Amino acid sequence: MKTLKPIILSLALIMLSCGDNEKKEQHSDTAEIPVSREMIAELTSPPNVPTPVGRRKAKKLIVNMEILEEEGELTDGVKYVYWTFGGSVPGSFIRTRVGDEVEFTLSNHPDNKLPHNIDLHAVSGPGGGAESSFVAPGHEKTFSFKTLNPGLYVYHCATAPVGMHIANGMYGLILVEPEGGLPQVDKEYYIMQGDFYTKGKNGERGLQPFDMQKAVDENADYVVFNGSVGALTGDNAITAKVGETVRLYVGNGGPNLVSSFHVIGEIFDKVHVEGGDLINENVQTTLIPAGGAAIVEFKVDVPGTFILVDHSIFRAFNKGALGMLKVEGEEQKKIYSGEIREGIYLPEGPGIQNMPTTNEIVESEIPAKSFEEQMEFGKQIYMQTCFACHQAEGQGIPNAFPPLAKSDYLNADVDRAIGVVINGLSGEITVNGAKYNSVMTKQMISSDDVANVLTYVYNSWGNSKKVVTKKMVDDVKKK
């Protein structure tokens, strides 16, 4: 056995050496790919991507990118000064192929306040280009590199403090396609996650500066796709048709958080793990590290709105990491039936004190005798039945459940509010200028409890201080 150990070690060293030699030969071969003529790179803002390279030959690819520091909207009423590559967060998508010689010019707009540079993870060279691209406002730098490895790569600013520059939006993706290009698909989109840290808490209006301590503590106020809450929802949603194949180029700028990327109601047919050659199939959720990327592909089989999320799920529904893919086309009942029937199910729950033996709602055993008791009992009901959707301070959940705090919808019509509690509500409504389209089921609570909880809501969080009585609730029930 002792004599075998040197032999095994020698074989291992030979195999490692062979692997290194193969890699060197591969890079050498790629480096020697000749370029034919020049072409100006097509750069696109998210969620769009440039035209596929197809079977074009390697070229001298001219990339001109401008750095802009400009104010934008992080979410409704919340302003933020983004630092951008190409005027968008994430920055412009760059599409190349193996063997391209990229001549990269980075321009720092004269109105900017800070120097910047760029580190492209697709570059084999010091700092990924950062050492050659450090540029002051009003200047530009040019450097070149050869694309040696196919894959999907992140680029970002690497000027100190590096984390601050990335956290302010300075990241994007560069795709290096293999020779002959990627297989053709019907739709391609560019999505990139980032975490943001502001002096004010989530939703606090006005111009919010960057908070370094929150960033160090990795305590993000917002986690978003494509630079802002709602960047991929509503009219900004990406689209496809039933039967089409969709390819998403998904990056994670960070600077801190790992993404658990998932499309609710879809399964990824293929995932290029971490943007490289390894392909995983039939994947539900894929991990994308900060400073990493993945290519996901899937065929859309049925129509509907499919929700894109970071499945660290509070980030999606509370901090903004949520997007939409809207698919049009014919229903495919064999694949998904939709709702077949609706029945009644009344288990013992927060709003029911005892298991009912009839369809009648159990009345409160201790009716409130004063405003103070209404507020006390109302708060108890609120925390049992309303808290999950509308939150402790009535702030609601952006893009999901409307706020009750200072709610114009609530304060405009008390009878309507009573009706919503006892009958439920579905369909689109507008609250404080924002549209919501979710479902509130009817609440199986007594008239006393409806009066108490609405009195608590109306007398909290800057609302109109109305007092709701049992008689008012009963009157609405009779209509």
List binding-site positions for Cu cation. 116, 121, 156-157, 165, 170, 311
Catalytic member of 281, 330, 348, 376: 281
Q: Which of 66, 147, 157, 177 is catalytic?
A: 157
**Alpha-carbon distance 470 to 450, whole Å?**
8
Residue 170 catalytic?
yes
Between CA 324 and CA 328 the distance in angstroms is 13
Pick the catalytic residue from 44, 142, 245, 285.
285
Per the DSSP assignment, residues forming a β-bridge with 310 are: 261
Q: How far is CA 265 from CA 22, 246, 304, 326, 425, in A?
A: 42, 14, 9, 12, 24
Tell me the binding residues: 116, 121, 156-157, 165, 170, 311
411, 402 Cβ separation under 8 angstroms: no
Is residue 245 within a helix (H) or strand (E), and if so which, with residue range?
A: strand 245-254
Distance, in Å, from the CA atom of 237 to the CA atom of 260, rounded to the nearest integer, reads 20
- Closest residue by Cα to residue 6 from 21, 17, 14: 14
In whole angstroms, give the CA distance from residue 75 to residue 49.
24
Which residue in 165, 221, 390, 455 is the catalytic one?
165
**Position of tokens 């459940």?**
401
Which candidate in 65, 100, 221, 262 is catalytic? 262
Catalytic residue among 27, 269, 311, 375: 311
- C-beta separation of 156 from 118 below 8 A: yes
281 is catalytic: yes
Q: Which two tokens stand for residue 217?
A: 């503590």
- Which one is catalytic: 164, 170, 386, 472? 170
Cα–Cα distance measured from residue 81 to residue 73, given in angstroms and rounded to the nearest whole number: 8
- Catalytic site residue from 121, 297, 448, 449: 121
CA angle, residues 318, 206, 322, in degrees to nearest 5: 25
What the block records as the tokens of 171 is 């990241």
Whether the CB-CB separation of 145 and 71 falls below 8 Å is answered with: no
165 is catalytic: yes
Tokens of 94: 């760059």
Annotated catalytic residue within 69, 84, 116, 233:
116
Q: Which two tokens stand for residue 338?
A: 């939709």
- Across the beta sheet with 187-196, the strand order is 222-225, 187-196, 245-254, 292-299, 268-272, 279-283
Q: Which of 119, 188, 310, 448 is the catalytic position?
A: 119
Q: Which of 150, 133, 172, 147 is CA-nearest to residue 48?
A: 172
156 is catalytic: yes
β strands within 178-244, DSSP E: 187-196, 206-207, 222-225, 238-241
Q: Is 285 a catalytic residue?
A: yes
Active site residues: 116, 119, 121, 156-157, 165, 170, 262, 281, 285, 311
